Structure 1
Amino acid sequence: MNPVLHFPVLNSTNAYAKTHAQELADGTVVCADEQTAGRGRFDRVWVSQLGGLYFSLLLKPQQTAYLQNLTQLMAVSVCQAVRELGADAHLKWPNDVLVNEQKICGILSEAVLKQNRFYALVLGVGINVNQNSLPDVGRPAATLKNLGIPADKSALLNRVLTLFNARLQNALTQGFAAFAADYKNWFPYLGKTVSITNGGQKLFGVAENISSAGTLVVKMPEGLREFSIGDMNA
């Protein structure tokens, strides 16, 4: 079982986990009912009002070769958990979970350094569960409640952690291969035209594959191009 620290309000569960990384045990979960300064990828604001599930998982792995794939493992775990509740969820590379092309979960991974060397990884997760409404943040979003799917936040948290932990050791030694089949099964964009925003530049092509490293392979007029980071949209 993961030790869980629960707070009514935090500025950011990721910030708390990073600040207290040395005193917290490996596998500790920091959870808050609300966040006043929640963040997503690329420093986007993650609105975190009451009703959502907001948590950060602190990991101190010995094997570090495949750390970049743990964010994708968390996305697969969330996707499976909400699918089990009845949501027709799918993945948007690299780590968003969508329902009806509306975002239901975002994940932010951040490294903790100690004396300029890797010390820990923090996986921050925000799932839209029981909010009555979501403010307009420029991107379509949904909640399980709005989809007519009742969910208990504690039970959902436990299920996500159970699914994640079941594959963690294999992911640390095998990387993306440990969960590639499920990821690709829930990634409906292969063969479709997508855009990739990378370094301020928007590029277009056809999503060809998710590589064995978890990168997105896109067919462009000049040939295949592989992306390890970026914002994909269909």
Structure 2
Amino acid sequence: MRIIKLDAIDSTNSYLRKLIAVENMDDYTTVVANEQTKGRGQMGTVWASRSSKNLTFSVFKDVSKLYLEYPFYISIVTSLALLKTLQFFSISKLSIKWPNDILSENKKICGILIENVIKKNQINASVIGIGLNVNQTEFEGLPQASSLKIISGRIYDLDEILHVFIKNLETYFLLLKEGHYDVLKFEYEKFLFRKNKPSTFKDAKGFVFSGFIKSISDFGNLQVLLEDNIIREFDLKEITLLY
């Protein structure tokens, strides 16, 4: 496993994508930055992280030999690898806020941004970007953010967490390669934030409504039981789960 450590970079995902364009990548090549000046999240959001306090990194994953009818399983695998890693470090009350924010005690501690590399109309590789709040204790203007240190009171070794995560990521991608879709989906849904609880949502037009999260589809759409007793599917651009 090749690890590239950088002091500061605009975005580890962007850096890794540029590397892919000019050289052949070993599987699980990882770019780690002490500081990201333009860290990115889902839907164009910005990931704010203090220098040397947290884990901000991106992993190259060759998926050319995987049968990927449902690309969302890359997100499932990544989420489960993170949960397994956090459990190893005794972080409790974990959940996945759809599609792939990792929460502890209902506070966000980790975000994931996956960007796929397409060749000949197929996903050839994935750049898996992770922002994990580790030793940072202040999040100005972000009341729903937390970190491993806030939760446990401990200071963590960033390299140790990274190596445990990569091992877990390899394990879960092996399950995906072997076709254990049902197992992966079951595990993901077991940790799904607010599953079977009355929840509030906002659609793309700003309309607020209530429903119960029931499951996800193989394509990663959220399946919500609405007031008229109908289950409707929503993709990431259509709906936001409010706290």
TM-score by length of 2: 0.85
User: Which has the larger displacement, 196-205 or 76-85?
Assistant: 196-205
Deviation per residue, 1:145-201 (Å, 9 max, x gap): 112133211111111111111120322453742423322332242211223445454
Question: SS state of the match for residue 154, structure 1?
Answer: helix
Aligned pair in 2 of structure 1 residues 83, 215: CA closer, same or farther (>3 Å)? same
User: Which has the larger displacement, 175-184 or 26-35?
Assistant: 175-184
What CA distance in whole angstroms lies between the structure 2 residues aligned with 1:150 and 1:182?
A: 29
For residue 70 of structure 1, what is the aligned residue in structure 2? 74
Match of 2:234 among 214, 227, 232: 227
Match of 2:98 among 93, 98, 108: 93
Aligned pair in 2 of structure 1 residues 211, 161: CA closer, same or farther (>3 Å)? same
Give the CA RMSD over aligned residues. Answer: 2.3
Matches within 5 A, 1:205-224: 205-222=211-228, 223-224=230-231
What CA distance in whole angstroms lies between the structure 1 residues aligned with 2:104 and 2:124?
A: 35
For residue 106 of structure 1, what is the aligned residue in structure 2? 111
User: Which has the larger displacement, 73-82 or 36-45?
Assistant: 73-82
- Name the amino acid aligned to 1:71: S
What CA distance in whole angstroms lies between the structure 2 residues aligned with 1:194 and 1:128?
A: 26
Task: Give unmatched runs, 5+ long, in structure 2.
Answer: none
Residue 169 in structure 1 maps to residue 203 in structure 2: no
Match of 1:142 among 142, 146, 149: 146
Residue 80 in structure 1 maps to residue 84 in structure 2: yes
For residue 154 of structure 1, what is the aligned residue in structure 2? 159
- Name the amino acid aligned to 1:164: L
- Shift in Å, 1:112: 2.5
TM-score by length of 1: 0.88
Contact 2:110 2:130 in 1 (8 A): yes
Aligned pair in 2 of structure 1 residues 118, 208: CA closer, same or farther (>3 Å)? closer
Question: SS state of the match for residue 20, structure 1?
Answer: helix
Task: Give unmatched runs, 5+ long, in structure 1.
Answer: none
- Shift in Å, 1:72: 2.0
- Shift in Å, 1:95: 0.6
Contact 1:107 1:124 in 2 (8 A): yes
What CA distance in whole angstroms lies between the structure 1 residues aligned with 2:119 and 2:193?
A: 39
Contact 2:77 2:169 in 1 (8 A): yes
Contact 2:63 2:123 in 1 (8 A): no
Aligned pair in 2 of structure 1 residues 112, 9: CA closer, same or farther (>3 Å)? same
Question: SS state of the match for residue 167, structure 1?
Answer: helix
- Shift in Å, 1:39: 0.7
